[in-house]
Structure 1
Amino acid sequence: MSQDVLTRKQAMDALNVKDYRTLNKLIEAGLPVIQAGSYVRFSKSDISAFLEKHTKKGGEAACK
């Protein structure tokens, strides 16, 4: 498997997420997935872009 493609568990580690429900919420929020049949994979570059897009700038709190 290519190092640029991650399993669900590897994506959770990269996102510092502890359970699958949170990962699913991120997918619903727009985190791109690569799906082939029942296999779900994530691109490292897609994860980086997603985090960059959803990171608050200028000291704004992420949660209110």
Structure 2
Amino acid sequence: MDQEILTRKQAMSALNIKDYRALNKLIKAGLPVIHAGSYVRFSKSDISEFLEKHKERGGEVTCK
């Protein structure tokens, strides 16, 4: 598997955010998450796709 898998901290760095609450809001807005037991991981390619998708919409991410 060539896909790069990131921890929460690495994902936050890739997203350029510093607060876990912001990460949780992005997850609620549709950021894909990989659950492996009690671990939460993120695919770097999924993060890139998520950002591209929201960039096309004018950069807005709405969280309910």
Under a length normalisation based on structure 2, what TM-score does the superposition of the two structures give? 0.82
User: For structure 1, which runs of at least 5 residues remain unmatched after alignment?
Assistant: none
Higher RCO, 1 or 2 (CA under 8 Å, sep at least 6)?
A: 2
Residue 13 of structure 1 corresponds to which residue in structure 2? Answer: 13
TM-score, with length taken from structure 1: 0.82
Give percent identity, aligned residues only: 73
Instruction: Compute the displacement of 1:37 (Å).
Output: 1.4
Cα distance change of structure 1 residues 41 and 61 upon mapping to structure 2, 3 Å threshold: closer
User: What is residue 37 of structure 1 aligned with on the other side?
Assistant: 37
Q: Which has the higher helix share?
A: 2
Aligned residue pairs, count: 60
Structure 2 distance, partners of 1:8, 1:23, is 8
Q: Rg larger in 1 or in 2?
A: 1
What is the alpha-carbon root mean square deviation over aligned residues?
Answer: 2.2
